[in-house]
Amino acid sequence: MSWMRGITCQVQHWRAARAQWKADMAEFKTAQKEARRKGEWPENPGPPPTGFSLLPWLLMGMGSFSNLLQGKTSNPWIGGLGLFAFNSLYIYVVFRSFVKEKRTAVSTLVALVVMGLITCGLALGYGGSWLYFFPLLGLATGAVVRGPRLGQVGLALTALAAAVSVYRSGWDAINVAYGTFLSTMVTAAILSLSEAVRELRAAREELARRAVEKERMRFSRDLHDLLGHTLSVIVVKSEAARRLAPRDMEAALDQITDIEAVGRQALTEIREAVTGYREGSLATELDRARSALSAADIDPVVRQSGPPLTPQNEALLGWVVREAVTNVVRHSGATRCEITLDGVLDRIRLTVADDGPGDGGAAADGPAEGIGIGGTGLKGLTERLATAGGSLRAGPSPRGGFTVTAELPVEAVELASSVVATTTAATAPREP
């Protein structure tokens, strides 16, 4: 029979839920003891409540059950069936009330209404201890009905309990209505508060997890950008020193001195990146870009105009210059690189363009087009700029070479500013 199979499955489900609840309670008590031993306040609020926490209240029906056994109830078969039906529906409702999806299901609400009809029938037919099924009905109602409708439902149920109690047993039974109101409201308040606390705790844990993930991403981006650029500059200057050594030892020593300075600066920047206090300077990055490009026999051309930059924008654009110039030195094969910074309406635009036959970074960083820029370096820059309300575009230029364009909002900085244009020639000697 299908209904017998359904009852068996439900009983097995309740047994599994009780076993899990016991295991959670044992773990919670162990954590409580450990926290008290260490003198700490336990953070774990314990396992979530289940229908088992409301089952002991069924003992309120023991008076009615006793009347049935003692033969004090007329039509005991009707009373026994009513008692069995009420208890069965109560167990069904309270277990479903602790699952959000099941709590608002039509079947749960229908079961609650049938409980109300059975309660009214038993209370009107027998009175006395049978009236105490109203507080039990209030417990089930408070567990199911949580939210803006609780007040209306609670008052309606209280009025119904008061009317039935007064009709059946006089004004002496008015306390049944009071108990019904309290059981409805207190149950709903406690369960709602418990659920809110658990949701807040889960939200706090999620925020902490995201903060750790964000910090991990920041550190990986900083480390990639710092080491990638620094090692590329060291390699380029080392090659320049090797070429210059047989012909011009003094120029070779200058390159070696630059290598030492770059290494020391890299150590400082890595320490600052680890602690999270690194603030990039665009002017410093432009000076390093000129030096790196010159050492690689690439003519650097730097043009600046537009509004003064905020520290945040300077730091972001400094990262763009660092990454873009590193890619030019490593992959472009260019002879000229132009770095242009200007203000357009309410946005700042930085462009790094080369004239090389290479891809300017796609070889190392994958496809670079729009927001879908691939690779660790350019992808990290895209995420940084997007967080600040900006954008990054990278790809081959129609006139040849590779172009990286970054845009950022001015951030309420006035646009009236002076224009500074500088064009520098290569400082390192070239091979004939």
- Residue percentage of the chain with pLDDT more than 90: 16
- Of the two residues 384 and 162, the one the predictor is more confident about is 162
Predicted confidence (pLDDT) at residue 54 exceeds the cutoff of 50: yes
Vertex 137 angle, CA 133 and 143, to 5°: 150
Predicted confidence (pLDDT) at residue 353 exceeds the cutoff of 70: yes
Q: Is residue 169 within 8 Å of 123, Cβ to Cβ? A: no
Q: Rounded to an integer, what distance in angstroms lies between the CA atom of residue 353 and that of residue 303?
A: 12
State the DSSP code for 45.
-
Residue 280's pLDDT is: 57
SS3 369: coil
Average pLDDT over residues 99-117: 90
State the DSSP code for 114.
H
Average pLDDT over residues 336-354: 87
Residue listed under structure tokens 């954008």: 391
- Of the two residues 409 and 35, the one the predictor is more confident about is 409
Of the candidates 38, 19, 34, 54, the one whose C-alpha atom is nearest the C-alpha of residue 142 is: 54
Residue 77's pLDDT is: 87
Q: Rounded to an integer, what distance in angstroms lies between the CA atom of residue 299 and that of residue 314?
A: 24
101 Cβ contact partners less than 8 Å away, ≥ 6 residues apart = none
Average pLDDT over residues 114-142: 90
Predicted confidence (pLDDT) at residue 368 exceeds the cutoff of 60: no
Predicted confidence (pLDDT) at residue 249 exceeds the cutoff of 80: yes
Type and span of the H or E element at 301: strand 299-304
| pLDDT tens-digit map of 256-315 | 888 888 888 777 777 766 655 555 578 888 888 888 888 888 899 998 887 778 888 888
Helices and strands in the chain: count of H runs, count of E runs = 13, 6
Residue 3's pLDDT is: 58
Predicted confidence (pLDDT) at residue 415 exceeds the cutoff of 70: no
Average pLDDT over residues 316-326: 86
| pLDDT tens-digit map of 202-227 | 888 888 888 888 877 777 777 776 67
Residue 29's pLDDT is: 72
Q: Give pTM, 2 decimals.
A: 0.49
Average pLDDT over residues 328-354: 86
Residue 426's pLDDT is: 34
Mean pLDDT of the chain: 78
pLDDT tier at 359, thresholds 50, 70, 90: low
Burial bucket for residue 41 (CB in 10 Å: 0-12, 13-18, 19+)? exposed
Assign 3-state DSSP to the chain and report helix, strand, coil percentages, each to 5: 70, 10, 25
- Of the two residues 361 and 239, the one the predictor is more confident about is 239
Predicted confidence (pLDDT) at residue 65 exceeds the cutoff of 70: yes
Q: Rounded to an integer, what distance in angstroms lies between the CA atom of residue 38 and that of residue 26?
A: 19
| pLDDT tens-digit map of 377-414 | 677 788 878 888 888 988 888 878 889 999 988 763 33
Q: Is residue 54 within 8 Å of 139, Cβ to Cβ? A: yes
Residue 294's pLDDT is: 86
- Residue percentage of the chain with pLDDT more than 70: 80
Predicted confidence (pLDDT) at residue 372 exceeds the cutoff of 60: no
Predicted confidence (pLDDT) at residue 4 exceeds the cutoff of 70: no
DSSP-assigned letters across all residues of 372-409: G--SHHHHHHHHHHHHTT-EEEEEE-TTSSEEEEEEEE
